[in-house]
Structure 1
């Protein structure tokens, strides 16, 4: 290959890898790592003040380990869903032929090993979180278990990882790091404040909505390959409405918590931002045509943007407390 074409080839490969990594999940993972780090700093600032500087390396290390785990999980799913993705998501690298199956397997193997190795080097809580996430992600996609075939178990896999395992595991890891590897204040680093439980509950319920909504634009391929989903069982409109009301419960719950001052957060900021997000969501939902696959996919990406936003809003509410 000539030197002239080499840069173009590299750019094309990295763009394909970016698509392979499923960018919306990469952004979500990155913000969750940053958000839990900021919450740990805000709630245990006394531990940080005892040190000369705020430690950044633990944040970077956890972020890279989680990104590797993310690529492993979404990559394994694509390896097992090539035929389905040719119908539902033909732009993905394996479905389009940009990546060969051998390339996909190599990427998945390398990122899986790196995720576990990096987590092991950084501490027990991060290793536990990454290990559990990879195990559930494997069970979700890989035969003979392949839990994604069953609506209940598929949803449980998604919201248990994104909702509880990631949030609690990351907070415990960062709290452990900030307490000098668990060597200070006895077992204080094992304490999980009400604000973290609140965020965990919010994300847990929120990701249930993501889990059921994601299959609405994929009905054709799921039906052809016998992947049972709530959309196939209940219909587009019912699942769309259910997801909207689940998200509404999330936001109303946050507004009530802020109004009643039930957590260590800035109540005014928490209430106002979640009220705006709730109104924005319903306004956007009124413009969705359920007969237009691109419109449904667009609203799905909008829900992910609300998910991203929460990992910015909530840590700020903690910092302003």
Structure 2
């Protein structure tokens, strides 16, 4: 038993506040937002299936995303003991193997809830749960790769929930336009996930996690992240023009220009500015997602 497991000798059960911290509610927003984008882009009135909308939001956020955070913290407990020893598991506020049991229980619960969303929602839930464990757990642990790790998270945070929301409301395969736009925003999210790796730079370096900030250095990794975030949005803008949604294309263009301004500030000091960019540039990124979703809704009705 390691040192961090001995910090709270008398604790047998998790601190309830620590469990909420483990599930990281702040991280639920991206998949919940992407699911809403999928619902909007489907063209189906939200009032037609309010229960499906609600279950999908709960599944995308608290259940699947919360489970993935618990699984990641359990699998990363040694890294967190270096980077952030005050986190729930290394601090001992969630003792023993409780972190693992919570992640496993939520995996089962997520799959159970997912079956209420029909075959498309059920299949997407299973894929999301498997992806969460593949990202964090040995022997796969795709987190070790600066390419596959952020790519998988971007897919599960933005692309898969978007696709699921559209498929569940449509009760079938979404249109090719929805799939293309969801895939483009999922690709761009690779850059967002790369910036998120900056906070774990030292621990990743010491434990063999080859994130892009570790393998390329913060400056090069930040430049690549900016390119990866910007290029798919440029394609989205072009497609919206082609699909006769010029107002939406102009709004996404303005949001992208705002991100370029924020990127210039980020690149001046990537390690220090990454958290700032996540609060500014990423907000503009996800705003563009909803603008594109409404464009798809209008295009689908014409």
The more displaced of 292-301 and 196-205 is 292-301
SS of the residue 1:286 aligns to? helix
1:38 to 36, 40, 50: 40
2:228 to 246, 255, 274: 246
Query: For residues 299 and 99 of structure 1, what CA distance do their matches in structure 2 show?
Result: 31
Q: Figure out how many residues of one structure are paired with residues of the other and give that number.
A: 284
Residue 164 of structure 1 and its aligned partner are, at CA, apart by: 4.0
1:66 to 60, 66, 79: 60
SS of the residue 1:318 aligns to? helix
Query: For residues 198 and 268 of structure 2, what CA distance do their matches in structure 1 show?
Result: 9
Unaligned runs of 5+ in 1: 1-11, 177-188
Q: RMSD of the alignment, in Å?
A: 2.6
Matches within 5 A, 1:228-243: 228-243=210-225
Unaligned runs of 5+ in 2: 1-14
Query: 1:17-74, CA deviations, whole angstroms, 9 ceiling, x for partnerless residues?
Result: 443223343011211222211222x2x56xx9xxxx6220111112222231111111
Matches within 5 A, 1:121-132: 121-132=116-127
Aligned to 2:168: 173
Query: For residues 145 and 286 of structure 1, what CA distance do their matches in structure 2 show?
Result: 36
Q: 1:220 and 2:202 equivalent? A: yes
| TM-score, normalised relative to structure 1 | 0.78
Structure with more of its chain in helix, by fraction: 2
Query: For residues 98 and 306 of structure 1, what CA distance do their matches in structure 2 show?
Result: 36
Aligned to 2:8: none
| TM-score, normalised relative to structure 2 | 0.83
Matches within 5 A, 1:220-299: 220-261=202-243, 266-268=245-247, 270-288=248-266, 293-299=271-277
Aligned to 1:107: 102
1:54 to 48, 70, 93: 48
Query: For residues 161 and 35 of structure 2, what CA distance do their matches in structure 1 show?
Result: 8
Query: For residues 16 and 241 of structure 2, what CA distance do their matches in structure 1 show?
Result: 50
Residue 319 of structure 1 and its aligned partner are, at CA, apart by: 4.2
Aligned to 2:11: none
